[in-house]
Structure 1
Amino acid sequence: MTSHQETLYFDATLTPNRSLSPRAFALVMGIVVAMSFFAGLAFVSMGAFPVIGFFGLDALVIWLAFHLSFRSLKQETRVRVTAEQIDLRHTSPGQKPREAQMPTAFTQVRLEFPERRPSELKLAHGGKAWVIGRFLTPGERKSLKEALESAIWRAQNERYST
């Protein structure tokens, strides 16, 4: 990626925000399972035996939804800015890492607001644009845009001041 002699103007690893700790997840699932079990027992006592299976299926679907959500928390994007280039590396569970390099001098940082979708932070160069930080909040995207613009400006000043 970068040699050891280059000044690093920006180096950040972006990760999704965790909304539920493992302990809170265990508590929520315990409550869901207990409610399903006791509601299922009530239906069994009334003679509706098949209903308990549906309560078990509900608990399983809720667990699966949390599992998929926690799996998506393992993705990350690394952004590095030097005087020469900007390096991007995005990793997601079960997928190959995606990498891109673009020259610092000609890269644009854009925060776009498309209709019916959340804002998108893009790094653009040569007719291509890479969306970064899809999992960030709008405020975090704006803050990241400002930090990247500042880093690019400082990198360009170093490169062209000598």
Structure 2
Amino acid sequence: MSGLVMPAPAEPVLFEAVCTPSRSLGPRGMRILAAVLLTLSAGTGGFFLALGAWPVLGFSGLEALLVLGLMLLHRRQARRAMEVLILTGGRLTIHRTDRRGRREEIAIDPYWARLRLEERPGRVSLLVLRQRGESVEIGALLGDEQKRDLARALGEALRRWREPVFDNPQLREPPIPSASGS
């Protein structure tokens, strides 16, 4: 075991969710897309070169490189985007990191927090936490189904936090003695 010791958390974590944008195109898919795009660009450029319009070859290549460069830039920036929801004994904290790396932390009193999933026809639903007249959108990086799952899980965690079930051994019914025949 290494010498790294993690400090004990101040309060126990009752719920934690990490929200990241979906990345449907992995590294292998990106390579395939780049190969297809460059092949189509070379084919288009070669066709116009055969027709005698040789300047199109350069523009076609630059266009393909620009598209690939913008896609790689978007993927790199989207990798940074993240939202972490943490419910502890006394607060619900939202840690956000946007695609540019800027961080934000929002703390909410879980007792007053009300979760609402607002349906928007033709668009992804909106998941909002409301507290005393203020509202905070959460799960903006998620798709519709993931937002529903987050709403269900966070709603259940908030409900359990507000309505705890206590197990008091003194209130339990005593065990019934069994009659044993000797």
When normalised by structure 1's length, the TM-score is: 0.87
Q: Determine which structure has the larger helix proportion and give its number.
A: 1
Quick one: which amino acid aligns to residue 130 of structure 2? A
Q: Is 1:53–2:94 an aligned residue pair?
A: no
Question: In the alignment, what sits opposite 2:4?
Answer: none
Quick one: which amino acid aligns to residue 18 of structure 1? R
Write the distance in 1 (CA, Å) between the matches of 2:134 and 2:165: 23
Higher relative contact order structure (alpha carbons within 8 Å, sequence separation ≥ 6): 1
Write the distance in 2 (CA, Å) between the matches of 1:21 and 1:74: 16
Q: Is 1:7–2:12 an aligned residue pair?
A: yes
- 2:81 touches 2:101 (CA, 8 Å); kept in 1? no
Q: Determine which structure has the larger strand proportion and give its number.
A: 1
- Of residues 32, 40, 44, the one that matches 1:35 is 40
Question: In the alignment, what sits opposite 1:110?
Answer: 116
Q: What RMSD, in angstroms, separates the aligned Cα atoms of the two structures? A: 2.4
Query: Mind listing any 5+ residue stretches in structure 1 that lack a counterpart?
Result: none
Distance apart, 1:64 and its partner CA: 3.2
Write the distance in 2 (CA, Å) between the matches of 1:126 and 1:108: 9
- Of residues 149, 154, 157, the one that matches 1:151 is 157
Identity %: 27
The superposition leaves residues 57-109 of structure 1 with CA deviations (integer Å, 9 ceiling, x where unpaired) of: 32023213422431224300000012311000110232420110011100011
Q: Is 1:74–2:80 an aligned residue pair?
A: yes
Question: In the alignment, what sits opposite 2:179?
Answer: none
Write the distance in 2 (CA, Å) between the matches of 1:129 and 1:159: 29
Number of corresponding residues: 160
